[in-house]
Amino acid sequence: MPFPDEVKPVAVVPYRAEWPGEFQRLAVRLRVALGGVVLGIDHVGSTSVPGLAAKDCVDVQVRVETVDPATGIPPLAAIGFRCRPEPWNRSEVSSGQRRPKLVFAPPPGERACNVHLREHGGPGARYALLFRDYLRADSQARDAWGEFKRRLAASVPDLPAYGQIKAPATDVLMGAAERWAAATGWTAP
């Protein structure tokens, strides 16, 4: 069965005030399911930035000591979450090093979300938090990023192509975020 976001066109919508509450409800479910392995749960991605246009898909980062399929997949599968099979959802490159991660899709028919299991204190977790905090702090960057995504979705409605085009633009955005972090003394919470 295909994942829901693979069969729908990309739609970027204006910020919705209900996204934080939806994240909170999802975070409670995940904390209960994963128990003691959870070191932190963060609302990340575009839906975590007030005022930012986004795909209506809540991104959740679950920080754990070690990303291990044996301890991450069974408890989430027990509540209906499906581990994404694509190779890019199994690891990510940060600071030149490949790090493990796992990404889960929600049970069929539930609210669109991506649940990312990442190493607590690892570069992937830091990256997600920096993206969020930079765009929360810089309204000009936030608005420009939202407009870029709206225009991209209007011209490239296919999710894989949208992602491939957005990736290098995200690298540029994150270069600015790193400069902001250095200038302000930002560190990951």
Going by their DSSP bridges, the two strands 102-105 and 113-119 should be labelled as antiparallel
- Other CB atoms within 10 Å distance of the CB of residue 167: 10
Structure confidence by residue, pLDDT tens digits, 16-36: 999 999 999 999 999 999 999
Q: Per-residue pLDDT tens for 85-140?
A: 887 788 777 666 678 899 999 999 999 999 999 999 999 999 999 999 999 999 99
Let me know the angle formed at the C-alpha of 53 by 147 and 23, rounded to the nearest 5 degrees.
155
Give the least confident one: 38-52, 92-106, 160-174.
Answer: 92-106
- Residue of higher predicted confidence among 8 and 9: 9
Share of the chain above pLDDT 70, in %: 94
Half-sphere exposure (Cβ direction) of 121: Cα atoms closer than 13 Å: 3
Would you tell me which CATH number, out of the four given (3.90.226.10, 3.30.460.10, 3.40.220.10, 3.40.50.1860), belongs to the domain 4-180? 3.30.460.10
Domain map of the chain by residue range? 4-180
The answer to whether residues 69 and 103 touch, using CB atoms and an 8 Å cutoff, is no
Instruction: Quote the CA–CA distance of 46 and 52 in Å, as a whole number.
Output: 6
* β-strand partners of 42: 61
Residue 5 has pLDDT above 80, yes or no: no
Mean pLDDT of the chain: 92
For residue 135, the one-letter residue type is L
Per the CB < 8 A criterion, the answer to whether 115 and 83 are in contact is: no
Give pTM, 2 decimals.
Answer: 0.92
Structure tokens at 124: 């992937």
- Reported as a pLDDT band with limits 50, 70 and 90, residue 1 is very low
